[in-house]
Amino acid sequence: MTPNPLAAQRDGLHLSFSRWVCRICPGRMLSGGIILRMKAQADNATPLYGRYLIRLVRPFPDFDFPFIRQVRRRAVELLRLEQGDRVLDAGCGPGGSFPYLVRAVGPSGQVTGVELSPEIIQNARRRIEKNGWRNVNAVEGSAQDVRLSGVFDGLLMCAAPDVYASKEALDNMWPHLRDGARVVVFGAKISNKGIGRVLNPMLRLLLSRLSFPTTPKPDEEPWRLLSPRVDRIEIEEYLFGCMFLASGSAIGSRAKIREELVPAG
Ligand SMILES: C[S@@+](CC[C@H](N)C(=O)[O-])C[C@H]1O[C@@H](n2cnc3c(N)ncnc32)[C@H](O)[C@@H]1O
């Protein structure tokens, strides 16, 4: 099995933290140590923004950043979903895209969110509960090895570079996309335009502070891994070229993907 670098890193952190707890905790404090260990595990699977902001906004399940609403609307438009469709929101976070996806697939459709962080998924579940959505579910797990079922008509990866720039995650999800399913990615990129170039260092700093140490750093084409899997990929740029929306239709069959990735010898 291919080792999962994210899991390996998290396991390493858990182990050293729990060893430290055991060293400072004599027997009767062990249960406290176990609780601390569980908290450390949740924290290690939660990017920095999730550890503070997510708890702060938990009492407001419908919270979303106003500036991103327009992007979500456009992303869902590009998914071209129809009533009754099934859509996968990988790295769904607190479910900010759910309202747009739910509207697009209607009551007969289905929205599935996948989220790594046990902290952040609580917010997504609260959002689902508050809105009484019976056709939305949030699955805790990593896009690299979550067990998906059935076939999806659309895949959204919004601000989730750990997912869209991970071959393992794409390999895991692709067999569940119907041929021609729409795929839409929103994320940060390095700009080669005037003002954008000035913003690049700030973007790099911000992302390195807020994400996991293993999160792929943005470059000029962070959608690169999608190119062989998506037909006619189209890119829209935002914020002086520092943000992008990539969209296209999935080449669904595994055989087709393999053909393009491994040249016949
Ligand atoms: C910046 S947030 C964006 C959340 C959401 N897509 C949105 O638009 O608001 C990225 C999310 O991806 C999650 N994530 C990171 N790595 C992941 C992985 N390997 N599998 C699933 N989710 C992951 C993070 O925990 C975080 O909640």
Contact yes or no for 161/239 (Cβ under 8 A): no
* Cα–ligand 1 centroid distance for 24 (angstroms): 34
Give the model's pLDDT for residue 12.
36
pTM of the model: 0.82
Position 20 pLDDT exceeds 50: no
Residues 6+ apart with CB under 8 A from 62: 99, 127, 130, 131
Residues 6+ apart with CB under 8 A from 144: 4, 6, 166, 168, 169, 172
Give the model's pLDDT for residue 265.
41
Position 116 pLDDT exceeds 80: yes
HSE (CB half, 13 Å, CA atoms) of 203? 20
Which has the minimum average pLDDT: 22-31, 121-130, 133-142, 155-164? 22-31
* Cα–ligand 1 centroid distance for 248 (angstroms): 21
Task: Tell me which residue has its CA closest to atom 15 in ligand 1.
Answer: 162
Using CB distances shorter than 6 Å, the residues near ligand 1 are 6, 47, 50, 91-93, 96-97, 114-117, 120, 142-144, 158-160, 162-163
Task: Tell me which residue has its CA closest to atom 10 in ligand 1.
Answer: 160
Which has the minimum average pLDDT: 27-36, 105-114, 131-140, 211-220? 27-36
pLDDT per position as a tens digit, 151-209 = 999 999 999 999 999 999 999 999 999 999 999 999 999 998 888 888 888 888 888 87
Residue among 83, 74, 124 at smallest CA distance from 103: 83
Position 62 pLDDT exceeds 60: yes
* Cα–ligand 1 centroid distance for 25 (angstroms): 34
Classify residue 213 by its DSSP letter. Answer: T
Give the model's pLDDT for residue 195.
85
Task: Tell me which residue has its CA closest to atom 4 in ligand 1.
Answer: 93
Give the model's pLDDT for residue 184.
98
* Cα–ligand 1 centroid distance for 23 (angstroms): 34
Give the model's pLDDT for residue 17.
37
Contact yes or no for 190/121 (Cβ under 8 A): no
CATH code for residues 66-261: 3.40.50.150
Give the model's pLDDT for residue 155.
98
Q: Two tokens at 260? A: 């393009």
Ligand 1 atom at minimal distance to the Cα of residue 6: 19
Ligand 1 atom at minimal distance to the Cα of residue 47: 25
* Cα–ligand 1 centroid distance for 212 (angstroms): 10
Position 18 pLDDT exceeds 60: no
CA angle 120, 95, 180 (to 5 degrees): 125
Q: Is 223 helix (H, G, I), strand (E, B) or coil?
A: coil
CA distance from start to end of the chain: 25
Which has the minimum average pLDDT: 13-22, 49-58, 235-244? 13-22
Give the model's pLDDT for residue 254.
53
* Cα–ligand 1 centroid distance for 148 (angstroms): 17
* Cα–ligand 1 centroid distance for 260 (angstroms): 28
Q: What is the mean pLDDT of the chain?
A: 84
pLDDT per position as a tens digit, 201-241 = 888 888 887 788 888 888 999 999 999 999 999 999 999 99
Position 42 pLDDT exceeds 60: no
Give the model's pLDDT for residue 208.
81
Per domain, the residue ranges of the chain are 5-44, 66-261
Task: Tell me which residue has its CA closest to atom 27 in ligand 1.
Answer: 93
